[in-house]
A and B are shown apart, each in its own frame.
Chain A
Amino acid sequence: MNEFFALGWEALGPFLLVCATALIVMLSDLWMEDDEREWLAYFSLAGLAGAFIMAMRQFLLVSNAQQPALAFNEMVVWDRMASSFHVLLAGVAFVAILLLPRYLADHDDLNRGELYALLLFSVAGMMLLASARDLIVVFLGIELLSFPLYILAGFARPRLDSEEAALKYFLLGAFASGFLLYGIALIYGAVGSTNLGVIAMTFNVLGVGETLTNPLFLAGLALMLVGLGFKISLAPFHQWTPDVYQGAPTPVTAFMVAATKVGGMVTLMRVLYTAFIPAVEIWVPILAILAAITMTWGNVAALLQSNIKRMLAYSSIAHAGYMLIGVLAGADSFVLLYLLAYALMNLGAFAVILGLRKGDGEEVLELDDFSGLVKTYPVAAILLSLFFLSLAGFPPTAGFFTKFMLFNAGIAGNLQWLVVVAVLNSVVSVFYYARVIIKMFMQEADDDLGVYWSPDWMLSVALAVTTTGVLVLGFYPTLITDVLLEGSNQDLLMRGISLAVTALLVLIGIGILSLRTNVQDLDEESEEAPL
Chain B
Amino acid sequence: MNQFGLLSAIIFVPLLGALGIALFVPRNRMNWVRGLALGTALVDLALTIWLVARFDPTSADFQFVERLPWISLFGGNATFLYYVGVDGISLWLLPLTALLTAVAILFSWGSIQTREREYYTLLLVLTTGMMGVFTALDMFLFYIFWEVVLIPMYFLIGVWGSKNRIYATVKFVLYTMAGSALMLAAIITFAWILVPFTQQLTFDLTVWKQAVQSGLWEAGVVSDRMETLMFLAFVLAFAIKVPLFPFHTWLPNAHVEAPTAGSVILAGVLLKMGTYGFVRFAMPLFPQASQQFAPILAGLAIVGILYGAAVAFAQRDIKSLIAYSSVSHMGFVVLGLAAMNPQGVSGSLLQMVNHGLSTGALFLLIGMMYDRRHTREMSEYGGLWKVVPVYAIFFLIVALSSLGLPGLNGFAGEFMILIGAFRANHWWAGLATFGVVLGAVYMLWLYGNVFFGPITKPENETLADLNRREILALVPLVALIILIGVAPHMFTEPMQPSVARLLQEIGGTMLTMR
Contact = CB atoms under 8 A, between A and B. Distances in A.
Interface of A: 389, 394-396, 400-401, 404-405, 407-408, 411-412, 416, 419-420, 423-424, 426-427, 430-431, 434, 438, 441-443, 476-478, 481, 485-486, 509, 512, 516, 520
A400 B150 CA distance: 14
A396 B147 CA distance: 9
Nearest to B188: A411
Contact of B73 (A389, A416, A481, A516): A481
Interface residues of B, number: 37
Interface stretch (B165-173, B335-343, B452-460): B165-173
B480 to A, nearest CB: 33
24 contacts: A389-B151, A394-B147, A395-B143, A396-B144, A404-B184, A405-B73, A407-B184, A407-B185, A408-B191, A408-B192, A408-B201, A411-B188, A423-B182, A424-B178, A426-B177, A431-B174, A441-B155, A442-B159, A442-B165, A478-B71, A481-B71, A486-B74, A512-B23, A520-B27
Contact of B192 (A396, A411, A423): A411
Interface of B: 23, 27, 70-75, 140, 143-144, 147-148, 150-151, 154-155, 158-159, 165-166, 169-170, 173-174, 177-178, 181-182, 184-185, 188-189, 191-192, 195, 201
Contacts of A408: 188, 191-192, 201
B158 A412 contact: no
B419 to A, nearest CB: 40
B185 A485 contact: no
Contacts of B177: 426-427, 430
Contacts of B195: 412
B72 A394 contact: no
Nearest to A513: B23
Contacts of A509: 23
Question: Which 8 A/B pairs are nearest by Cβ-Cβ distance?
Answer: A423-B181, A395-B144, A442-B158, A427-B177, A411-B188, A395-B147, A411-B192, A427-B178
Interface of A is mostly: helix
B365 to A, nearest CB: 27
A442 B74 contact: no
A405 B188 CA distance: 9
Given A408-B201, A477-B71, A420 B185 contact: yes
B396 to A, nearest CB: 37
A451 B216 CA distance: 59
Nearest to B170: A434
Contacts of A420: 182, 185
A430 B175 CA distance: 11
Contacts of B165: 442
A434 B173 contact: yes
A389 B170 CA distance: 14
A423 B71 CA distance: 22
A430 B158 contact: no
Contacts of B143: 395
Contacts of B170: 431, 434, 438
A282 B393 CA distance: 74
A396 to B, nearest CB: 6
A79 B151 CA distance: 41
A433 to B, nearest CB: 11
A411 B193 CA distance: 10
Nearest to A405: B73
B194 to A, nearest CB: 12
Q: Pick the most buried of A396, A411, A516: most chain B CB atoms within 10 A of its CB.
A: A411
Contact of B154 (A400, A431, A434): A434
B75 A486 contact: yes
B181 A427 contact: yes
Contacts of B71: 401, 476-478, 481
Nearest to B150: A394
Contacts of A395: 143-144, 147-148
B147 A400 contact: yes
